[in-house]
Structure formats: C-alpha cells, structure tokens
Amino acid sequence: MAPAVLARAGGAAAALACLALAGCSSSSSSSSAAASPSVATTTVTATAPAASSSPPVTGPPACASSGLKVTQGGSNGYAGGVYVTLDFTNTSSSSCTLYGYPGVSLLSSSRVQIGLAAKRTTTTAPATVTLASGATAHAQLQIVDALNFSSSTCGPVKAALLQIFPPNQKAAVFLTNTSTTCSKSVQTLFISPVQSGA
C-alpha cells in the first residue's frame, strides 16, 4: 500500500482508538458517579414556624414582632379545655399588615418547648388584616386540658411560658402561662388565623 494511504489509515485508526478511549473514560466516570454512595441528610425543625402562604404585597408591610404588643386577652373555659384570645396591637407609628397564623407553643421556665406546637385550624380562612397605629387584631388559641388523656399517653407537665411568633415573623414574644400540657406527642394546642378586632 502506498505510504500516503498508510498514513491516512494510521491516522484514522488513531482517531478511532482515541474516541474509544474517550468513550471508556466517560463511561467509567458515569459508572463511578452512579456507584458513589448518596449523602444522608437530616431535617432539622426550625424554631420559627413555617410562613403562612400570603397574597402579593400591595399595601403596608407585614407587622414586625418589634412593632407589636402581644397580650393574652379574655379566656373562655369549657368542659375539657379553654379558649384564650391572643391580641396583637400595632405599637409602631405606621400601618402594617398581619396575614395567616401565629406560631404558638408552651415552654418550660428554661424556655424549652413542651410537647407539640399549636396546630392550625381551618374553620376560618386566613385574610389580610391591616392594622393602623394603635389598632388591634386577634387570634384564638385553644388549650385542651391535659387531664383528658391518660398520664402514660400524655406525660402531663406544668408550663411556665407561652411562646408566640406573630404571623410570618422569626422573633418570638414570651408571655406567662402556667397551663398543664402534655410533654409527649399529644395535640393540646390549636390556633386560628389572625382576624380583625380585639
């Protein structure tokens, strides 16, 4: 065979060999990626509750925890528990809005959460509440009596504080509350969305 033909044939063979090697290298890297073990992840529960889904912001900004005075209003007992009104008063000099649910839980005196945080109720749909300076909105907290459950199921313990996160805020407010609640995974707290008025 002529030298020029041999050179072309040799070049083609070299190119084919190179492609084959590249294919092997690519295949090897894919299989090594597939064979590598997956990294285990651990989910950590955040201190603040998940934000309430909110409509687009078109008016005043959300009320910050620092611009709200949070108090426990009237309570209404019933057989098996009590309803407590949580009032949110705008102490800033300008209007702000609240939308959705406060995050609520009972704490020990050392500020360790006891049992489960309040579960959101769905009887009333969330709505944007605009608070002028000095105006008040409220949410209804239901505290079920721990004595409704067996001691072994509940693990009753007396709380010292109520921890409240205003809707969509990460800074909590702490109020004195000595309710007896369950230290085990028994739902004793239920919270409504924020509504207009005290």
pLDDT at 82: 96
Judge contact between 197 and 138, C-beta under 8 A: yes
Taking domain 65-196, whether its CATH number is 2.60.40 is answered by yes
Average pLDDT score over residue span 60-73: 96
DSSP-derived 3-state class of residue 56: coil
Q: Percent of the chain, pLDDT > 70? A: 71
What does the block give as tokens for 71?
């108090």
Mean pLDDT of 68-88: 95
What is the structure's pLDDT at 59?
83
Greatest distance between any 2 Cα atoms in the chain: 106
Q: How many other C-beta atoms can be found within 10 angstroms of the C-beta atom of residue 95?
A: 15
Between 40 and 122, the higher pLDDT residue: 122
List pLDDT tens digits, range 99-139. Answer: 999 999 999 999 999 999 999 999 999 999 999 999 999 99
> Whose CA is closest to 87, among 161, 170, 175?
175
Alpha-carbon distance of 17 to 42, in angstroms, equals 46
pTM score of the predicted model: 0.72
* Cα–Cα distances in angstroms (integers) from residue 50 to residues 8, 36, 101, 116, 198, in the given order: 68, 34, 10, 15, 25
Q: In this structure, which amino acid lies at residue 43?
A: T
Pairing state between β 81-90 and 119-120: unpaired
User: Can you give the pLDDT at residue 198?
Assistant: 81
Nearest to 114 by CA among 47, 181, 163: 181
In sequence order, what are the residues at sequence separation of 6 or more whose Cβ sits closer than 8 angstroms to the Cβ of residue 183? 114, 115, 154, 155, 156, 157
